Amino acid sequence: MTLLNAKTPYLKKETSVSSMMRDTLTALAFLLVLPVARYGARPLAMAAVTLVACVLCEIAWSLLQSRSINTSDCSSMVTGLIIVMLMPLNAPLWLPCAAAAFAILVAKKPFGSTGHTPFNPAAAGMAFITLLWPQRIFSYFNPSAGEVLPVFADCNVETAPSPAAVLKNGLKPDILPFDMLWGVFAGPVGATGILVLCACGLYLFLKRTANWEITAGCLFAGAVMAALWPRIACAPLTSIKYELMSGSLLFCAVFMLTDPVTSPRTGFGRVLYGLLAGVLIMLFRRYGAYEQGAWFAILLANAVVPQINSLVCGDRRWGEELYEE
């Protein structure tokens, strides 16, 4: 292995930030296919409005700082789409826009934009709106009701508890784990299609846009905790299936924890980081106030990254070096 002086973000290959962002945008776009096919244009409208809000926030910040406007790296668009994927289908369109504005104007731009953010901007945006409007974040459209979702208007539709909410109450979801693979249950826009999520993760790993060690460590920690301390009376394997496929754990493990800027630089450090994040996510599920708290867990894990880098790489300042394999 070779340690080289470099600035953030910590990339392991000669790939531009823009190309990595495009790969991520491609994977996120695939996650929209099933929701659009099943529920109409509402998910597309939510994504379009949020992306426009992201671009406007970028422009507004550049104008306030008297800097040239540059949105070519697509990082803000990735942040916006990640936020959309964590929304309920029936969320008002201003909700993901509020999260995106906080993510860009508070969690990203003040730190120097792409490559310098200590915390994942999308996680910060989701934490912000969760604290302010939890009833809107965790109120999910009932896909079995057969109602048509309006494209732009507010949705007054029948809601249903998600499997994550049922588990939070200590009950067994009324959907079989195998049926959860196809995503026809109440939950976030992009976190219910388990098979598509796995395919998107494999695409990002093969492209080396995301590091598989982080995702594997997170899922392993979640599976171990689900088996040893199940929240419902069931076999350990059943508990693992429900925990890994409900809520946003898998989505966050693939798209948010693997952010190259806020994750450790070495392979061993990334494994530690993934294990820590998995434990924190499961603790928030068990003891937190909300059915899902993955974004709070990610922010806490981000805060520990400098210590992980110091532990694994020695006493070096955060942001000083690049690890190459």
Residue 82 pLDDT exceeds 50: yes
Residue 143 confidence (pLDDT) above 50: yes
- 231 pLDDT higher than 50: yes
CB 274 within 8 A of CB 257: yes
Is the pLDDT at 115 greater than 90, yes or no? no
Q: What span, in angstroms and rounded, lies between the C-alpha atoms of 37 and 8?
A: 39
Residue 112 above 80 pLDDT?
no
Please answer whether residues 127 and 109 qualify as being in contact, where contact means their C-beta atoms are separated by less than 8 angstroms: no
Rounded CA separation 231/238 (Å) = 11
Over 70: is that where the pLDDT of 322 sits? no
Please report how the helices 75-85 and 94-105 are oriented relative to each other, as an axis angle in degrees rounded to 10: 140
pLDDT, residue 314, reads 61
Q: Is 322 helix (H, G, I), strand (E, B) or coil?
A: strand
Instruction: Specify the pLDDT at position 233.
Output: 92
Task: State residue 182's pLDDT score.
Answer: 86
C-alpha–C-alpha distance, residues 100 and 53, integer Å: 7
Please state, as a whole number, how many other Cβ atoms lie within 10 Å of the Cβ of residue 60: 15
pLDDT-based confidence at 111, cuts 50/70/90? Answer: confident
Is the distance from CB of 28 to CB of 87 less than 8 angstroms? no
C-alpha to C-alpha distances, 168 to 14, 40, 290, nearest whole angstrom = 44, 30, 8
CATH class of 2-324: mainly alpha
Q: Is the pLDDT of residue 4 over 50?
A: no
Q: How many helices (H) and strands (E) does the chain have?
A: 14, 4
Instruction: Identify which of 220, 212, 217 has the alpha carbon closest to the alpha carbon of residue 274.
Output: 217
- Least confident among 73-82, 89-98, 250-259: 73-82
* Rounded-to-integer distance, Cα 325 and Cα 311, Å: 19
Average confidence (pLDDT) over 109-115: 79
Q: How far apart are the first and last CA of the chain?
A: 5
pLDDT(320) > 60: no
pLDDT confidence tier of residue 156, bands split at 50, 70 and 90? confident
Can you give the C-alpha Rg of the chain in angstroms? 19
What are the structural domain ranges in the chain?
2-324
The string of DSSP letters for 134-186 reads HHHHT-EE-GGG-PPPPSSSPP---EE--HHHHHHTT---SS-GGGGGGT-SS
Percent of the chain with pLDDT over 70: 90
User: How high does pLDDT run on average in the chain?
Assistant: 88
Q: How confident is the model at residue 303 (pLDDT cuts 50, 70, 90)?
A: very high
How many degrees, rounded to 5, is the angle at CA 73 between CA 307 and CA 247? 60
Structure tokens at 207: 């492209």
Q: Which range among 2-16, 154-168, 178-192, 265-279 shows the weakest confidence by mean pLDDT?
A: 2-16
User: What number is the average pLDDT over the span 266-283?
Assistant: 96
Residue 323 has pLDDT above 80, yes or no: no
For the stretch 220-223, contacts whose Cβ atoms lie closer than 8 Å and that sit 24 or more positions apart, written own/partner, are 220/274, 220/275, 220/278, 221/274, 221/275, 221/276, 221/277, 221/278, 221/279, 221/282, 222/249, 222/278, 222/281, 222/282
Two structure tokens written together for 90: 């029936």
Q: Which residue has the higher pLDDT, 319 or 265?
A: 265
For residues 209-236, give the mean pLDDT.
96
Cα separation, 39 vs 52, whole angstroms: 22
> Any idea which of 58-72, 164-178, 186-200, 273-287 has the lowest mean pLDDT?
58-72
The answer on pLDDT for 64 being more than 70 is yes
For residues 110 and 318, the model is more confident at 110
Mean of pLDDT values over 69-93: 89
320 by Cβ neighbours in 10 Å (0-12 / 13-18 / 19+) ranks as middle
- Name the residue with tokens 């922010």: 299
In angstroms, the CA 210 to CA 188 distance is 22
For residue range 248-271, what is the model confidence (pLDDT) as tens digits? Answer: 999 999 999 999 999 998 999 999
Residues 119, 127 contacting (CB under 8 angstroms) = no
Please compute the mean of the pLDDT values over residues 214-221 and round it to a whole number: 98
Q: Is the pLDDT of residue 315 over 60?
A: no
Q: Shortest CA distance to 17 belongs to which of 3, 6, 5, 29?
A: 6
Three-state SS string over 21-50 comes to: HHHHHHHHHHHCHHHHHHHCCHHHHHHHHH
